[in-house]
Structure 1
Amino acid sequence: MRTAIVSAMHEELAAVLALMPDEQRQRVAGRDFWIGHLHGQQVVAVLSRIGKVAAATTATALIERFDVGSIVFTGVAGGLAPGVQVGHVVVADSFLQHDLDASPIFPRYEVPLYGTSRFATDAALTERLAAAAQLALPDAILHRGLIVSGDRFVATTAESRALQSDLPQALAVEMEGAAIAQVCHDYGVPFAAVRTISDRADDEAHVDFLRFIREVASRHSAAVVEALLRAGQPGPAA
């Protein structure tokens, strides 16, 4: 089965496509899906687009139309936990939607009718992804744990501190991962995600983010993906 490589930014997707010798474009749901091979593995690469709904649509199309056996998501995030700094790498063990609140009918953050607020990533695939990140980025500090997602770019110190207070276990914040995690949970498809910290989700986030995307993000994503696929098929065997 194919492995889906989902990138958060155009620069990251371009870096992954540069590694694929035979990519062919297919357009589905207004998105460009690039089918080909990377280190002998069948892959399909795509841009997630921004926000939870867009990311969920992308993940659903990957599963329904391209029959992927696993989804790997690379990208950037804002650091929340005190020790998670710019340039560090976070491999997600689970995701939560920080802007979901159906209380008092359901507890805050709990996804209605699921009985949980967190969706775990696939343990085996996550271990492989963490090993690939350590191999590809030996000088980067690696963290494992909770990443939170929401439909807003957290870019003020006040917002960041509020999230840290409400969700002290959260290592980083971004805008798509929890949606993909929920879709993969529904379909039983293994999912793993790695995020490089581009900013501290504070008053300087917009400045740090743009510079980081230009200088670091694409290189990190391509290196981790290449290390993962070079090590062997991360999803179920074809």
Structure 2
Amino acid sequence: MTAPIAIVSALHEELAAVLALMPDEQQQTVGGRTFWRGHLHGHEVVAVLSGIGKVAAATTATVLIERFGVQRIVFTGVAGGLGDGVNVGDVVVAKQFLQHDMDASPIFARHEVPGYGRSTFDADAALTAQLARASEGMLRELPVHVPDAVRSAFGLHAPTCHRGLLISGDRFVSTTAESKALRRELPAALAVEMEGAAFAQVCHDYQVPLAVVRTISDRSDDSAHVDFPRFLREVASRYSAAIIDALLTRP
């Protein structure tokens, strides 16, 4: 049996799609969170909702490592696109993480995490490569996972997998002004969300491999589509289940 792997989502709909793949999950509550322990394709799995925001994410990551002894963490969720060509329905697999709202200046440089001498944390290269292959495979087989009518409704014509910088902060970015400001300040950023960089810092502390994939639900601006619940239910949750299934079944 392999060492435990954690499967984490921020929103219930995505985790429910993953739990549906697990035949024998059992619940355990720790720190106000429900953890599901079970197996998937021969892997011992611990699944959990991280909660929204960096503090909730850091708490969840710490419990996964300290209490459940997970040896790898995979996070799947949604994010707002920032980079050029990062469109709704694309996926971003993180190579690096940064907290866009970290600012201890003038004592430390803007975005630098005090005590670390750095502003970015890396995803695990090997696990990230596996997650990217699973994501790319899912996109190649997209008609199998997402019906034609849904793809048409959200304009998912040729979704792409991107790899690069993912930024996190305790602010939901949903206006053109905010999006433009982040793009000016952090031009390498592909997408923005609220948990990834916190997981990355905790995993760096414990030397636990981390990989994160995010489905792009909007462009983080005034044009963001309003039917987010439908996108989450009919697109993002299907992406998550298919990617995790592929990750744990393919070498």
1:134-166 deviations in Å (ceiling 9; x for gaps): 112215301000000000100100000000000
Query: 1:77 corresponds to which residue?
Result: 79
Q: Which amino acid aligns with 2:230?
A: R
Query: 1:101 corresponds to which residue?
Result: 103
The partner residue of 1:186 within 205, 212, 223 is 205
Query: 1:224 corresponds to which residue?
Result: 243
The partner residue of 1:162 within 177, 181, 195 is 181
Q: CA deviation at 1:215?
A: 1.9
Bigger Cα displacement from structure 2, 22-31 vs 200-209: 200-209
Q: Aligned to 1:215, what secondary structure does the other structure show?
A: helix
Distance (whole Å) between structure 1 residues aligned to residue 230 and residue 119 of structure 2: 33
Change (3 A) 1:206 1:47: farther
1:200-222 deviations in Å (ceiling 9; x for gaps): 00013361533321221110000
Bigger Cα displacement from structure 2, 199-208 vs 43-52: 199-208
Q: Aligned to 1:5, what secondary structure does the other structure show?
A: strand
Alignment of 1:53-202 (within 5 A): 53-138=55-140, 139=142, 140-202=159-221
Distance (whole Å) between structure 1 residues aligned to residue 225 and residue 53 of structure 2: 17
1:155-187 deviations in Å (ceiling 9; x for gaps): 100000000000000000000000000000000
Q: Aligned to 1:68, what secondary structure does the other structure show?
A: coil
Q: Which amino acid aligns with 1:30?
A: G
Distance (whole Å) between structure 2 residues aligned to residue 200 and residue 110 of structure 1: 26
Distance (whole Å) between structure 2 residues aligned to residue 117 and residue 180 of structure 1: 14
Q: Aligned to 1:186, what secondary structure does the other structure show?
A: helix
Structure 1 residue ranges (4+ consecutive) displaced by more than 6 angstroms after TM superposition: none
Identity value in percent? 72
Q: Which amino acid aligns with 2:19?
A: L
Q: Which amino acid aligns with 1:195?
A: R
Q: TM-score if structure 1 supplies the norm length? A: 0.95
1:114-136 deviations in Å (ceiling 9; x for gaps): 00000000000000000111112
Distance (whole Å) between structure 1 residues aligned to residue 167 and residue 226 of structure 2: 21
Q: TM-score if structure 2 supplies the norm length? A: 0.90
Q: Which amino acid aligns with 1:170?
A: A
Distance (whole Å) between structure 1 residues aligned to residue 34 and residue 225 of structure 2: 27
1:89-128 deviations in Å (ceiling 9; x for gaps): 1000010000000000000000001000000000000000
> How many matched pairs?
232
Q: Aligned to 2:96, what secondary structure does the other structure show?
A: strand
Query: 2:155 corresponds to which residue?
Result: none
1:71-97 deviations in Å (ceiling 9; x for gaps): 000000000012100000100001000
The partner residue of 2:232 within 213, 216, 224 is 213
Q: Note the aligned Cα RMSD (angstroms).
A: 1.0
Instruction: Give yes or no for contact 1:155–1:201 (8 Å, CA) kept in 2.
Output: yes
- Pairing 1:25–2:27 present: yes
Q: Which amino acid aligns with 1:231?
A: R
Distance (whole Å) between structure 2 residues aligned to residue 5 and residue 40 of structure 1: 14
Query: 2:152 corresponds to which residue?
Result: none
Query: 1:236 corresponds to which residue?
Result: none
Distance (whole Å) between structure 2 residues aligned to residue 163 and residue 144 of structure 1: 18
